[in-house]
């Protein structure tokens, strides 16, 4: 039986390094050194750096989305309130000292080729986020729910990108204010 804690340890260290430095900038040797593990142990658990990266992306999606959605749902209890809470949770994320930007935006930036497995992974995971917002929209009565969902999604990605670029602590607030206006405008009554 493989020692799962070693595999976890490697993946945890690798994820931190990928987040902080980027994927190309992080070598296997550094992962091995900081994991305090033999190189062959890494290659026993992950047959290549590629597989390690894919495991990182998958885990990142699970962890971030789990945290994000449960934070939203914990904050508010109706779909409409949750649509606004999305931006409060974004603000919480930005303010966290370990914030390193969105792993998927960064990974797509590093591997722009649309047929690259990393890029395909980022696409898969980002669609899930978009769908989450769309579902929240569809659970209320809005005119043109598709248009509203798209706009709210753009505000999410915009806030993430703007915060990464400028560390403007009000990014999330500005997005929330804009979202509130849009939501009001799409109300079906």
Partner DNA sequence: AATTATACATACAGGTCTGTATAGTTTCAA
Partner DNA sequence: TTGAAACTATACAGACCTGTATGTATAATT
**Do 136 and 52 meet the contact criterion of CB atoms below 8 Å apart?**
no
Which residue, 74 or 185, has its beta carbon nearer to a second copy? 185
> Which of DNA, a second copy, none does residue 156 bind to, with CB < 5 to 8 Å depending on kind?
a second copy
Furthest C-alpha separation in the chain: 64
Which residues have a Cβ under 8 Å from the Cβ of 162 and sit 6 or more positions away? 168, 171
22, 28, 117, 126: which one contacts DNA (CB under 7 A)?
28
- Compute the least distance from the CB of residue 11 to a second copy, in Å: 20
20, 36, 67, 131: which one contacts DNA (CB under 7 A)?
36
- CA dist 137 and 156 (Å) reads 14
54 lies in the site for DNA, by CB under 7 A: no
- Compute the least distance from the CB of residue 40 to a second copy, in Å: 27
71 lies in the site for DNA, by CB under 7 A: no
- CA dist 137 and 146 (Å) reads 8
């Amino acid at each position: 039986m493989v020692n799962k804690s070693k595999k976890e340890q490697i993946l945890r260290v690798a994820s931190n390094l990928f987040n902080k430095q980027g994927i190309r900038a992080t070598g296997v040797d550094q992962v091995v050194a900081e994991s305090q593990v033999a190189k062959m142990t890494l290659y026993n658990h992950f047959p290549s750096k590629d597989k390690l990266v894919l495991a990182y992306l998958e885990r990142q999606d699970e962890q971030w989305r789990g945290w994000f959605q449960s934070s939203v749902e914990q904050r508010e209890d109706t779909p409409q309130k949750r649509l606004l809470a999305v931006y409060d949770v974004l603000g919480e994320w930005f303010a966290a000292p370990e914030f390193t930007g969105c792993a998927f935006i960064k990974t797509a930036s590093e591997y722009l080729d649309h047929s690259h497995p990393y890029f395909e992974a980022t696409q898969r995971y980002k669609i899930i986020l978009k769908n989450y917002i769309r579902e929240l929209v569809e659970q209320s009565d809005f005119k043109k729910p598709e248009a509203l969902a798209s706009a709210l999604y753009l505000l999410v990605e915009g806030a993430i990108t703007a915060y990464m670029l400028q560390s403007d602590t009000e990014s999330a607030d500005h997005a929330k204010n804009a979202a509130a206006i849009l939501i009001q405008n799409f109300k079906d009554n």
